[in-house]
Structure 1
Amino acid sequence: MKTNMTAKSGLALFAVCLIFLSGCKGNDANKVNSKSEGNSSAPQSAVASAASSEQEISQQASSFHNDPNGNVAQSEKAEPSYLDDAVFIGDSVTLKLKNYVTIKRKTNPGYFGKAQFLAAGSMGSGNALQPLKSNSIHPSYNGKKALLEDSVAAMGAKKVYIMLGANDIGLYGVNDSADNMAKLLAKISAKSPNAKLFVQSATPIIKEQQMTNLNNPNLAAYDKKLKDLCEQKGYYFIDVASVMRDKEGNLPREYCSDPNDLGIHFTDKACEVWIDYILTHAVK
């Protein structure tokens, strides 16, 4: 971390590390840690800052992909087969999407096309850059743990959707987290030069579960850096977070499956909103 921290903030950072290294579900100890430091509602000034950051993003003029807001433009809803050659990379938030899609495919095999997933609890761009080890967090492909860039190449994916950040910001801060994502995307692009890279914005937390470092203002600032990166490198920015925020910039309770724990994971309804956003922001 580049900022100076008090002893109390240091404890908060340690708590964040413990929480997100635990994966998708927090245990009782995680609940104690998350509520003992930085787990009260963010100050109103912080919420206002998040709203201001989001407004700045939406108002920034750009010709990026023919959208004045700098995002992939809304399109006519694509058929699920649009995702036949896609892979979705992410952490426990994306794991929820994978599980939701898997259940839907039991009665509708073509649901969400043939999209594949490379997701793992506690995954972040920071640990994705680390070497493979027996205890590393890299997800498996064909039963074998592998680097993300190697798995994507082995799949032959032509569309790569990636959402990472929640497990990075508490550890690395906003700037270094964005830098790590840039390095990871470069590795994926080098191994799969013909694939389109879709960078999804990190989604918010419910108001009550924000922490000292992992909070909605920082997530909004991180998303802005990702959008800027996409403009610079020619990637596609998919602003999923824009449909996952209430008027104060927080994750609505109806979209949150763990409001009394981490406050960041999705309900089925949120997954439906996410899928609709993906299919209505297609790039042909």
Structure 2
Amino acid sequence: MIIGWGVLSLIGYLKKDGIYKNYSIDVKKTPYFVLVLDGIHDKIYPWSKELPDLLPDGTKPQNQESVIASTEMTDEENVAGQTETVMQDTETAAAKPKKFIQVDDSYFDDAVFIGDSRTVGLHDYGGLDHSDFFATVGMNIYDLWKDAFCEVNGKKVTLEEALKAKQYKKVYFQIGINEMGRGTLDGFMNEYQNAVEKFKTLQPDAVIYVQAIMHVTQKKSDSDPIFNNPGIDARNQRIQQLADGVRVFYIDVNEVVCDDQGGLKQELTFDNLHLYGSKYNIWVDFLKTKGIGTE
């Protein structure tokens, strides 16, 4: 037994500045083997590795378990922190605002245009022969998902079926003139926003252009209680609010087809509502200034 105490005392003495350096004894009153016993109590054994002076949180370790637990916790926190930083950086990059750039005809090769008779005119006279068009005369937001007006492989299908059949990089949407005088602005916007959300789901890789409703001529606006520009502007202001500059973009063709009073230029239209076939190039040229690029 005496030999055993002697061995423990020798270990305590040799490692008093090592694994037992955080313990203190009065060598005049207490033998060194007490260091070993105290260490064993704290699960610090003679063969344990040397403890650090301070834990990562700046405190002194009390025993081996506290060191391990603290170190493991710190590692987990570091990993979590690094993961969170990476996720934040990724989200920031993904949400980085994009800007409009000039593009050529090929930009529209992977685009689909959805809308009413005005979009039909864009299809017939715009020269965008490589784009797909799902549009029909009289289409409105309330019937958008009900009617089978889209032609896919020679068959008429609903818009949802058409958008499930093929993936696009751009979705151009203009609708709203046929809803004038029908329902309420809030009701219209509720259906419109639902449509945009559905586009996001059905076309996850596409940017979505919500196009302003084209104005009517000032002459018609002044005389028509239903089809007038103040009513159109009220809708356009709400449509614009759906744009986030990252996935959804608002573009307003009225910038290039309206006169100083804000009405559709008389020389561009045959019925105060629709463009002449020869004037759709103005719309197309406008679209070419609204390609999407990154900073």
Normalising by structure 1, we get a TM-score of 0.63
How does 1:118-133 map onto structure 2 within 5 Å? Answer: 118-129=134-145, 131=146
Q: Which has the higher contact order (CA 8 A, sep 6+)?
A: 1
* Alignment match, 1:3: none
The structure 1 residue matched to 2:258, chosen from 232, 245, 252, is 245
- AA paired with 1:207? Q
The structure 2 residue matched to 1:99, chosen from 107, 120, 124, is 124
Instruction: Give me the whole-angstrom Cα distance separating, in 1, the residues matched to 2:180 and 2:157.
Output: 24
Instruction: Give me the whole-angstrom Cα distance separating, in 1, the residues matched to 2:114 and 2:234.
Output: 21
SS in 2 for 1:270: helix
Structure 2: stretches of 5+ with no match in the other structure: 1-94
Structure 2 residue 167 is the aligned partner of structure 1 residue 156: yes
* Alignment match, 2:112: 87
How does 1:183-262 map onto structure 2 within 5 Å? Answer: 183-210=194-221, 211-231=224-244, 234-258=247-271
Q: How many residues align?
A: 197
Instruction: Give me the whole-angstrom Cα distance separating, in 1, the residues matched to 2:170 and 2:160.
Output: 13
* Alignment match, 1:182: 193
SS in 1 for 2:163: helix
Normalising by structure 2, we get a TM-score of 0.61
Deviation at 1:141, TM superposition (A): 2.7
Q: Higher mean Cα deviation, 274-283 or 231-240?
A: 231-240
Instruction: Give me the whole-angstrom Cα distance separating, in 2, the residues matched to 1:114 and 1:215.
Output: 34
- AA paired with 1:78? V
Instruction: Say if 1:65 and 1:73, in contact at 8 Å, map to a contact too.
Output: no
Deviation at 1:192, TM superposition (A): 1.5
Percent identity over paired residues: 27
Instruction: Say if 2:172 and 2:210, in contact at 8 Å, map to a contact too.
Output: yes
Instruction: Give me the whole-angstrom Cα distance separating, in 2, the residues matched to 1:121 and 1:137.
Output: 13
Instruction: Say if 1:174 and 1:218, in contact at 8 Å, map to a contact too.
Output: no
- AA paired with 2:143? N
Deviation at 1:170, TM superposition (A): 2.0
**CA deviation digits over 1:69-93, x for unaligned, max 9?**
xxx8552x31211111001111111
SS in 2 for 1:78: coil
Instruction: Say if 2:141 and 2:188, in contact at 8 Å, map to a contact too.
Output: yes
Deviation at 1:233, TM superposition (A): 8.5
- AA paired with 1:252? K
Instruction: Give me the whole-angstrom Cα distance separating, in 2, the residues matched to 1:178 and 1:140.
Output: 27
